Amino acid sequence: MTNTAVIVDAIRSPMAKGKAPRDGRPGGALSSLHPVELLGQVLRRLVDRNGIDPAIVDDVITGCVSQVGEQSGPVGRWAWLAAGLPESVPSVTVHRACGSSQQAADFAAQAVIAGAHDIVIASGVESMSRIPMLTARIGQDPWGPSVAERYAPGLVPQGVSAELIAARRGFSRHDLDAFSARSHANATATDLGAEIVPVTLPDGTVVSADETVRPQTTVEGLAGLKPSFETPEMSARFPEIGEWKVTPGNSSQLADGASALLIMSETKARELGLRPRARFHSFALAGDDPITMLTGPIPATEKLLKRTGLTIDQIDHYEVNEAFAPVPLAWAQHFGADPARLNPRGGAIALGHPLGGSGGRLLTTALHGLEATGGRYGLVTMCEAGGMANATLIERL
């Protein structure tokens, strides 16, 4: 006998540029806020707006990628305590690279389905302005000599993986830039206020809107940006790339942000007088080639569709993380997916990609998108370092 795991609420902070202040120049809008305080405020909002006794939460599962410095240890635990919430509630931190908070939500739902827990909060946070990407490596490669030998002459940066996908799938620079301009246009045209909760800075300033979206973005403007990952070494190793195309404009933005979902059994939600807004329908995981590491969403989605018996056309809303423009473009090309259903509220190219917080942000956006359109099924899938991917299907209730 299994339980139905439902989403009662899903929220996120505003997305801010992951830029630290330096040389007298300002940082991003959330750069003055410790990541524990950022997540703590989002957790407090989630609890308060649903009127639950926080002491009945069984666990707080938190995604975070750079678990070092201010994000070291059980960052969800510190955030919970920073929010003044009960000491009796534990927390655990999850690392599945960029999919960390999506995995947190999946683990939370699976614990509810199994009957191990009644109420779980899944959350995620990343302050990329305060803890820059790759800080946790401490200057060292984490994969060790055997992996290095297996994939000699060496693994590559994700941007090179994106270039390989673009070359092998036949995407032009214009294709990438057009998709990126669309991301900003979609985010600009959508009222995202319902999914955002305001955050207060140490000086009392309240941040309540995304800082990352650029309404003025055009294909022509993006065309002037130079490729970011071209080097003589990589050009010699991968001559198939030819013209290098991946730029800051068609890649996800470094960002600061946090997200949180209130997940419980449908029975518990009814008991507490809370309205289930969606249920977790299905889950899938996949691994793929770690050289072209960003292709994982394709086999993860294939597994999910096989498991559910659904076709891609039966899904109303697709959230495919825009780590780089070739990723959702390759996914859509592979499945023949309706482009109008793909990241219709904007994606990480416009909104930013606060690593550990992004999976929860995508689930939040998918839920609000389904509610706005009356759609039934929402698919969230995320490419992850090392060639991994999560896929999660939710059903609006």
Q: What is the set of active-site residues?
A: 98, 353, 383
Q: What is the DSSP letter of 209?
A: S
Beta bridge partner(s), residue 394 = 280, 378
| Strand pairing class (91-94; 199-200) | unpaired
Helix (H) / strand (E) containing 162: helix 158-169
How many angstroms separate the Cα of 65 from the Cα of each of 68, 95, 371, 376?
9, 6, 30, 31
What are the E-state strand segments in 230-316? 255-265, 278-287
For residue 85 the two structure tokens come to: 């919430």
Tell which residue, 364, 393, 379, 367, has the closest CA to residue 281.
393
Range 264-287 burial, b when 16+ CB lie within 10 A, else e:
bbbebbeebebebbbbbbbbbbbe
Q: 371: buried, middle or exposed (CB in 10 Å: 19+, 13-18, 0-12)? A: middle
147 in Cβ contact with 133 (< 8 Å): no
- 321 DSSP assignment: -
The residue whose two tokens read 């989605």 is 301
Cβ-proximal residues to 186 (8 Å cutoff; 6+ apart), any chain: 343, 344, 345, 346, 347, 350
Asked if 123 and 45 count as a contact pair (C-beta separation under 8 A), the reply is no
